[in-house]
Structure 1
């Protein structure tokens, strides 16, 4: 087994990104690069040097339309689309994966395939208080239960005895129902507030920070390594909501990534 270098991995991600945005553009699906990908485009004109993934965000109505299209083919060129809503994964969002490149992520036992994440941005209403309530009650509990329901282990990196006890508790509760049950609850809860009725939106199935819906109103093109991608024109509002002082580099100890180790597989290994 020969692992891909960091540079080779990024080149493969760029090829995947091009196929993905060609598909989105061809189907008139409005998108923006998000999270570290948006920050990388603004601050580094490409990947954050220590980053190793790509994130895309789509408002829920367009995301649902994308899902309906992908249900028919589940392919984007040579890439595969997976997700709970597509019936072929336990992720509550869509992943675009490369079937020819497998990945081992640090701290996990499972083998994955090299991926790009596509997150739905759901309505969060009009009240900051309501946003805080949603992000400190039902949704974090559902995400925790889903994580444990997908795990065969009661804990991960325990910090102390209290942490271990709580992990035992959540692990036990999570085994009362199937992972599919918790995913349905999570998606239903995240998507129940309409985007049209909201001032704020959030990638609620995974993220925890709401942003003004109006950042999705206008897009512009950004240089990302050797290609051009679309992102929020008002990147400053978005990035300040997510990162605060986003132009200041974090200290060395916080410059972390997924710790992935990708390798190319032969047909007989798939």
Structure 2
């Protein structure tokens, strides 16, 4: 394998995965939306935010299950879906579509994982229409996510001494062997409210899911846009959602914040063609 030496090379591998996914979903009538920073990138830059290092997408539970069923877990000969519910060796709870002929090293996790370059899939499920019940639900989800993170995180690489001491203290009670238990609980709670019968939907397991609650009718109404020259889509309420989540998303952040948010090294097979977009 060859080392991925630049941010743009890392971006191109993710673009290849995204392009492959969009081709598969277009052929099979599956709806996929740009999400988060990738959505901002498409609107503001026509593709990647220049310093971003991953791609975020989202889809409804219905479309995600259709994707799994029709693909059998593989959207091409070299791109595979890592579904948390069916992959006990995968410790995360957010699905990832990976390029199989790649690998990554991350300093975030203390548990050895077979990490590959991939794009995250945030799945929208149903949520109660009652604001009070929503608060109770997300309080429970927050606790499970915190317990899962304490099992998984490597606090040796935390920069502040207070956070490091805090992390090591609580890891006495949350062992790495329990990470699968909390992952299963998160996945179960995530789907508590059926997508098809709900008026409101959200990502539920995301760390600020309460800001992503929306009418299902708004979510399902697609708006076209482009990402790195690839015909793409997002939800109709994208502007109000991004302003709720990020504020004035058209304003560039301070220069000191314009840097990749994930710390890892990556490698890809020798034959990978970085010119595939040309």
Of 101-110 and 89-98, deviating more is 101-110
**Mapping of residues 152-231 of structure 1, within 5 Å:** 153=154, 157=158, 159-161=160-162, 163-164=163-164, 166-175=166-175, 178-208=178-208, 209-213=211-215, 214-231=217-234
**Mapping of residues 114-133 of structure 1, within 5 Å:** 114-133=117-136
Shift of 1:154: 5.6
Matched, 1:262 2:266: yes
Q: Is the 8 A contact 2:152 2:176 kept in 1?
A: no
The normalised TM-score by structure 2 is: 0.82
Give the paired residue count. Answer: 262
1:150 to 129, 152, 157: 152
The normalised TM-score by structure 1 is: 0.85
Query: 2:256 & 2:218 partners in 1: Cα distance?
Result: 31
Q: Is the 8 A contact 1:83 1:91 kept in 2?
A: no
Residue matched to 1:89: 90
Residues 170 and 29 of structure 1: is their aligned pair in 2 closer, same or farther, counting only changes over 3 Å? farther
Residues 188 and 207 of structure 1: is their aligned pair in 2 closer, same or farther, counting only changes over 3 Å? same
Write out per-residue CA displacement over residues 179-218 of structure 1, whole angstroms, 9 at most, x where no aligned residue. Answer: 2211111111111022345443222223313231333121
Residue matched to 1:75: 74
Residue matched to 1:140: 142
Residue matched to 2:276: none
Q: Is the 8 A contact 1:211 1:241 kept in 2?
A: no
Shift of 1:174: 2.1
Q: Is the 8 A contact 1:145 1:182 kept in 2?
A: yes
Query: 1:65 & 1:147 partners in 2: Cα distance?
Result: 29
Residue matched to 1:66: 67
Q: Is the 8 A contact 2:4 2:10 kept in 1?
A: no
Shift of 1:175: 2.1
Q: Is the 8 A contact 2:33 2:235 kept in 1?
A: yes
Q: Supply the RMSD in Å over aligned alpha carbons.
A: 2.6
Structure 2 segments unaligned to the other structure (5+ residues) = 272-278
Query: 2:33 & 2:259 partners in 1: Cα distance?
Result: 23
Residues 31 and 192 of structure 1: is their aligned pair in 2 closer, same or farther, counting only changes over 3 Å? same
Shift of 1:106: 5.5
Q: Is the 8 A contact 1:67 1:85 kept in 2?
A: no
Structure 1 segments unaligned to the other structure (5+ residues) = none
Shift of 1:266: 6.0
2:251 to 244, 248, 253: 248
Of 31-40 and 233-242, deviating more is 233-242
